Structure 1
Amino acid sequence: MNGTSKITASHRARTAAVYLRQSTLIEVRDNTESTLRQYALGDEAVRLGWDREDVLVIDADLGLSGKFGQVREGFRDLVAKVCLGEVGAIFGLEVSRLARSSADFARLLELARLTDVLLIDDDGVYDLTNFNDRLLLGLKGSMSEAELHILSSRLQGAKRAAAERGDLRSPLPVGYVYDDEGMCVIDPDMEVQAAIRDVFAAFAAGGSAYQVVAAFVGRRFPLRAYRGAWAGQLRWGKLTHARALGVLSNPCYAGTYVYGRNITRRRVQPDGSVRTSLTRVPREQWPVVLHDHHEGYWTWADYVAAEAKLKANCTHDGARPAREGLALCQGIMFCGSCGRPMTTRYHAGGQAAYECSLSRADHEATPTCRSILADIVDDAVVAALLETLSPEQIELALAAADEVTGRHTRSHRAAELAVERARFDADRAERAHAAVEPENRMVARTLEARWEARLAALDQAQAALNTAREAKPALPDRSALQALAADLPGLWHASDTRDRDRKRLLRTLISDVTLLPEPDRARARVGVRWHTGATDNLALTRPRLSADIRRTPAAARELIATLRPGHSDEQVVAALADAQLTTGTGRPYDVAAVKWVSYTYKIPAPVPFRDGEICVN
């Protein structure tokens, strides 16, 4: 080793710090020789004159990368001891790689110079008080950083080139495997295929990820682990909402190879550490998209439509999925005055209303922002919808019936595949039990217990299949469906038609409904925008308020105003009766009613004497 003459008694009187580092846990696990060489630096310190008890090994940072100023307790402890003057020399395989960050390395060099600390590696001894040694270490640190940059650029370039050919292999989602030639193919396991296909069928029928999860209640869903103790093995569990969203939003199931769906972003935390996170990239910005790369479970057009549907279902700013409420335009109703979505409010008695409450909450309501009963809007929109639907919708109903039949078939097929798998496991356990020597009772008892467990699982799978077959609801025949489809209004208003189904059909054709500004509070105008781009304006009449209904009719008010100044109240009552006029509540007028109308509308009372007459009282 060169430069040993730079080591003085002052350095040997202090601690010799051996700093160990490897960037990842994989390196620690696989590159054991490098770890042993770094631990051996303690022996090198003893050979150079340090006592064994003065050698400090700092290995807290094994498996932690030094990039981006990541917080490392070992490096922090080393810097603290250098600042306190407790360290005489720092040992490392290559001191320029003590830190991947140039800022950390430069700070360590400056502190080592101030406290007269030597840096020692295989190339020699560096005295930081010597300008030439500082210059050499600075150059080596810059070269180390440039080397990492070049290697990273080459690796990323090769990775991008392989991705553009569709050859870059990555963990496949459940339902796909790599064949012997490295090609992406559909998993040959029929039960896995059936489960994945049923996810897309349930989404097509229900229109939301929640409906997919509901369709899998009581059924198991496959999961393939890619790391840990279960790496590469197929496991079965419950289908959660997050897993359903993951399947529906993965373009791999559409037969499309995509690279760059996520990008890495780094943010500096308040404590100075840098946290790395993945951010989803919009579909329009994906760098590599290869259609028809492999066989898909559905088409790219289905994937794009599902993406839009899931976005619309988002409860933050979407229309939200159709649910059980009575308000049919819930989620697609907008205020034409302020442009905000209208909320749905249910009043006493179950009556619903669309209210422009968001603008009022933000104090941004306009003079023409209104609320309106849901029944008024829904009836007009439904009438326009049923008028638009043509007799060709019969084929739609028949297709829906076929879909229901197919759904039952798929459900039974999944149960049948589960029985087939359980029977195979039971047969294999039986063969293993038969192959063991009878004298080996320890092994025989274990295999017998395993066989019995497999037989019990087979009985459970068979019972589940029988339950699924018995639970199949009766479906009307095609002639009955044709009759129902021909009478669409009757089908719409049928008592067994759910509001959720009505909403789904309405949203299939109508994009949104807008309550247009209308100064006259007795009237309302609604704009309907269809998915085809066409628009319709509907004129509505609001129901009269209870106060308006009970208000005195205008004809009676005018007659009272004309007669009362020159006639007695009894004469006015007689005139109202002859004209067949009644109060707002439908009762005939009497003297008290005439006086109340006169008081309310400030109609003058009868004059007790004529002009020129005086009263002697």
Structure 2
Amino acid sequence: MNGDHKIARRHRDRLALIYLRQSTAAQVRDNTESTMRQYALADTAVTLGWDRSQVLVLDGDLGQSGRSTRGRRDFKEVVAKVCENQAGLLFVLEASRLSRNSADFQRLLEFCQVTDTLIADADGVYDLRDFNDQLLLGFKGTMSAVELHILAQRMHEAKKAAARRGELRMSLPIGYVYDPDGQVVMDPDQEVQAAIADLFGAFQATGTCCGVVRAFRDRRFPTHGQNWTGEVAWMRLRQSQAHAILRNPTYTGAYVSGRVKSERVIDEDGNIRTRSVELPPEHWEVVIHDHHVGYITWDAFGANQRQLADNRTQRGARPPREGSALLQGVVACGHCGTGMGVTYSSSGAAHYRCRSRLDENHTPGCRSVSAAVVDPLVEHRLLDIVTPDQIALAQAAADELNQRETRALRAFELRVERARYEASRAERAFNLCEPENRLVARSLEQRWEAKLAVVAEAESALHAQVAQRPPLPDTATLETLAADLRRLWNEPTTSPRDRKRILRTLINDVTLTSDPSGDEIRVGIRWRAGSHEEQLATRTRMRTNRDAVELIRQRKNEGMRDSDIAEELRSLGLRTARGHEFGRHDVRNVRHSIGLARPSPLQPGELTVHEVAARLGVKPGTIYYWLRTGDIPHRKPATGAVCIPFTADIEAGLRARPAMARLIAPAQPTRLSPGLLN
């Protein structure tokens, strides 16, 4: 080998690393000769003087790209052993096996130069401390990176050219296959076609992916089998699968390429990663309309994308939900302009609450409004605006319902037809079997019985679907219902979500502005047509029974305690504004609301226990002791407070008692002048 004279004893005392790499698993599977040549480098290292035990073969990066170090554990081990001065020779079939990234390649060369590690390939041995060898290897590394770029660009341009002609074959979504001529056609299985068509119909009816999944909860849905063998598997529809189908423009009959682009980013760990970024439709590279037969139109696809965007609550969208609040998602605060959210109490009552309260950016006017106050007003205006002569629309809705039910029924019929066909095949296979071959006949018989069980299950599901199909009203009944939109609105079968969707077709948004000092709420309605109007709603306030308020006022003026007043109210059967029995805190709240503070139990000349203790300079416990022994006269009104008539005679008597003088601080210490002591 060229340059083997550069190998010294110090190199043979260390490991000889044999590094193997091929870019893809397909290369490992198909290019076996290249793999064998790389493994044979271990024998070459032995001929160069290394002991077999000192030769380490690293083949963990077979099937890994050399574009970066991501996922290449053996390359990282090579770098580690070189840096730890354990490697004397690094053997590769060619320089591009190490790395096709110039930065990684040059960094490895620098490590080998510092640790005196030789690098060998099919052309010879290189000593990185020699400038000529360093220059030659550096040039080889640069050429490998350039070669990768040229190959990638050439293949990418070829793919783009084929895509512009609509001839680049891509994996097709469920519902489409390639015919023998390479053309995109609908799956010939009518059950698959019916399922795809019903999915788009269910989304048009419900407007959400969750609604589509609920529509298919009793039906199977087709999906690609494992390993994309072309077989169709049937399972429950998942929300992610429904979302992917609704987002795929292939179902419009258009050939689309360039929906996603790849870009390289640096992650938190400092590694360079490649991520996919979805592009908006106006930036798609290739769009060829009417390329094949579609399930929906291009306009319907655009409407579906707008509906999906409106459903993304993480991006600020506020789609209609199942709650009872009619204005959910379209109501805003008239003081700060922020959208108002909906909260529900334990009893189910809905309130519109300004969202600015959550981040403490609300204005003094921001407050919550009961939905029971504004919803009836907006509902009344909506029903008054809509004229009752929409018979054609109602007829179209009935026709759509009939078609949807027919499609669903057709799916069950196709399922029965498929099951019967499979059972017929199993029967023919059983009849063709020789009776003497019992091992095969027994297996075919079990298969036939299993197919017959599937037929019975499919027929039972079909009968159940027919039985639960609701009868549609005749034309006369439909005209009567269409003429009475108000009754349709109030029908129990009309869900809150449906009412909200109807409202949003006519109303753009509603603004609520409340007066903190009054009971009126200004309701601003902005219609889709561009007009605006303002209505007034009266806030409903819960008020305590007038008799209870007067009784509380009377008893409090008499000096009764709140707990005693609450007990009397309970005995009379009077309740709070919320319908609860009165308690001490309820009585206090009523007193505060009517401006009735607790009257002072003290009469002129009376003091409390703490006031007497402060006057005498003792602790309150001492005063309570004197009260129990009768040394201090007092009275105790109905409120329970202790009132002490603390006259000058009583104070003087307490201070004059010798037994108690030690407990009492002097009332006013006498300050003596210096002249009195002489």
The TM tier, using the shorter chain, reads: 0.7 to 0.9
With over 3 angstroms needed to count, the CA separation of the structure-2 counterparts of 1:284 and 1:371, relative to structure 1, is: farther
With over 3 angstroms needed to count, the CA separation of the structure-2 counterparts of 1:347 and 1:96, relative to structure 1, is: closer
Percent identical residues: 52
Partner of 1:407: 404
Match of 1:463 among 445, 448, 460: 460
Partner of 1:590: none
The 5 A counterparts of 1:119-518 are: 119-225=119-225, 228=227, 231-347=229-345, 349-356=347-354, 358-516=355-513
1:347 and 1:3 map into 2 onto residues whose CA distance is 85
Is 1:545 aligned to residue 541 of structure 2?
Answer: yes
2:41 and 2:171 map into 1 onto residues whose CA distance is 40
Q: Partner of 1:67: helix, strand, or coil?
A: coil
1:247 to partner: Cα distance: 1.3
With over 3 angstroms needed to count, the CA separation of the structure-2 counterparts of 1:74 and 1:347, relative to structure 1, is: closer
2:16 and 2:491 map into 1 onto residues whose CA distance is 88
Q: Partner of 2:21: helix, strand, or coil?
A: coil
1:326 to partner: Cα distance: 1.9
1:502 aligned partner, one-letter code? R
For the 8 Å contact 1:426–1:458, the answer to whether it is kept is yes
2:211 and 2:151 map into 1 onto residues whose CA distance is 48
RMSD: 2.6
| Structure 1 stretch displaced more, 313-322 or 38-47 | 313-322
2:114 and 2:311 map into 1 onto residues whose CA distance is 62
Q: Partner of 1:170: helix, strand, or coil?
A: coil
| Structure 1 stretch displaced more, 283-292 or 448-457 | 283-292
1:371 and 1:74 map into 2 onto residues whose CA distance is 63
1:531 and 1:93 map into 2 onto residues whose CA distance is 71
1:517 to partner: Cα distance: 7.1
Which runs of 5 or more residues in structure 2 are unaligned? Answer: 548-576, 578-590, 597-678
Q: Partner of 1:158: helix, strand, or coil?
A: helix
Q: Partner of 1:61: helix, strand, or coil?
A: strand
1:46 to partner: Cα distance: 2.0
For the 8 Å contact 2:374–2:537, the answer to whether it is kept is no
1:90 to partner: Cα distance: 1.4
For the 8 Å contact 2:69–2:76, the answer to whether it is kept is no
1:234 to partner: Cα distance: 0.8
For the 8 Å contact 1:207–1:321, the answer to whether it is kept is no
1:418 to partner: Cα distance: 0.6
Any idea what the Cα deviations from partners look like across 1:73-130, whole Å, max 9, x if unmatched? 2112112222233222111110243112222211221122222222111112212121
With over 3 angstroms needed to count, the CA separation of the structure-2 counterparts of 1:318 and 1:535, relative to structure 1, is: farther
2:133 and 2:491 map into 1 onto residues whose CA distance is 91
For the 8 Å contact 2:102–2:145, the answer to whether it is kept is yes
| Structure 1 stretch displaced more, 160-169 or 471-480 | 160-169
1:140 to partner: Cα distance: 1.0
1:420 to partner: Cα distance: 0.9
TM-score by length of 1: 0.84
1:444 aligned partner, one-letter code? A
With over 3 angstroms needed to count, the CA separation of the structure-2 counterparts of 1:423 and 1:544, relative to structure 1, is: closer
With over 3 angstroms needed to count, the CA separation of the structure-2 counterparts of 1:273 and 1:479, relative to structure 1, is: same
1:317 to partner: Cα distance: 4.0
1:38 and 1:469 map into 2 onto residues whose CA distance is 68
Q: Partner of 1:458: helix, strand, or coil?
A: helix
2:525 and 2:57 map into 1 onto residues whose CA distance is 75
With over 3 angstroms needed to count, the CA separation of the structure-2 counterparts of 1:450 and 1:271, relative to structure 1, is: same
1:485 to partner: Cα distance: 0.7
1:513 and 1:306 map into 2 onto residues whose CA distance is 25
Residues paired across the two proteins, number: 553
Partner of 2:672: none
2:99 aligned partner, one-letter code? A
Is 1:535 aligned to residue 525 of structure 2?
Answer: no
Partner of 1:32: 32
Any idea what the Cα deviations from partners look like across 1:313-344, whole Å, max 9, x if unmatched? 22324554433322111122122332221111
With over 3 angstroms needed to count, the CA separation of the structure-2 counterparts of 1:347 and 1:119, relative to structure 1, is: closer
Q: Partner of 1:292: helix, strand, or coil?
A: coil
1:361 and 1:203 map into 2 onto residues whose CA distance is 34
1:45 and 1:349 map into 2 onto residues whose CA distance is 82
Q: Partner of 2:61: helix, strand, or coil?
A: coil
1:22 to partner: Cα distance: 1.4
2:216 aligned partner, one-letter code? F
Partner of 1:8: 8
1:503 to partner: Cα distance: 1.6
2:410 aligned partner, one-letter code? R
For the 8 Å contact 1:177–1:184, the answer to whether it is kept is yes
2:595 and 2:236 map into 1 onto residues whose CA distance is 71
1:349 to partner: Cα distance: 4.5
1:173 to partner: Cα distance: 0.8
With over 3 angstroms needed to count, the CA separation of the structure-2 counterparts of 1:285 and 1:517, relative to structure 1, is: farther
User: Taking CA–CA contacts closer than 8 Å with sequence separation of 6 or more, which of the two structures ends up with the larger relative contact order?
Assistant: 1
2:360 and 2:83 map into 1 onto residues whose CA distance is 59
1:247 aligned partner, one-letter code? I
| Structure 1 stretch displaced more, 369-378 or 541-550 | 541-550
Which runs of 5 or more residues in structure 1 are unaligned? Answer: 552-584, 586-595, 602-617
2:316 and 2:81 map into 1 onto residues whose CA distance is 57
1:458 to partner: Cα distance: 1.2
With over 3 angstroms needed to count, the CA separation of the structure-2 counterparts of 1:300 and 1:500, relative to structure 1, is: same
With over 3 angstroms needed to count, the CA separation of the structure-2 counterparts of 1:132 and 1:539, relative to structure 1, is: same
1:421 and 1:292 map into 2 onto residues whose CA distance is 31
1:471 to partner: Cα distance: 1.4
For the 8 Å contact 2:377–2:537, the answer to whether it is kept is no
Any idea what the Cα deviations from partners look like across 1:231-264, whole Å, max 9, x if unmatched? 3221111101111111112111122222222222
1:364 to partner: Cα distance: 1.1
1:484 to partner: Cα distance: 0.8
For the 8 Å contact 1:354–1:373, the answer to whether it is kept is yes
Q: Partner of 2:22: helix, strand, or coil?
A: coil
2:369 and 2:90 map into 1 onto residues whose CA distance is 78
| Structure 1 stretch displaced more, 78-87 or 146-155 | 78-87
With over 3 angstroms needed to count, the CA separation of the structure-2 counterparts of 1:12 and 1:495, relative to structure 1, is: closer
1:293 aligned partner, one-letter code? H
2:175 aligned partner, one-letter code? G
2:16 aligned partner, one-letter code? A
1:527 to partner: Cα distance: 2.9
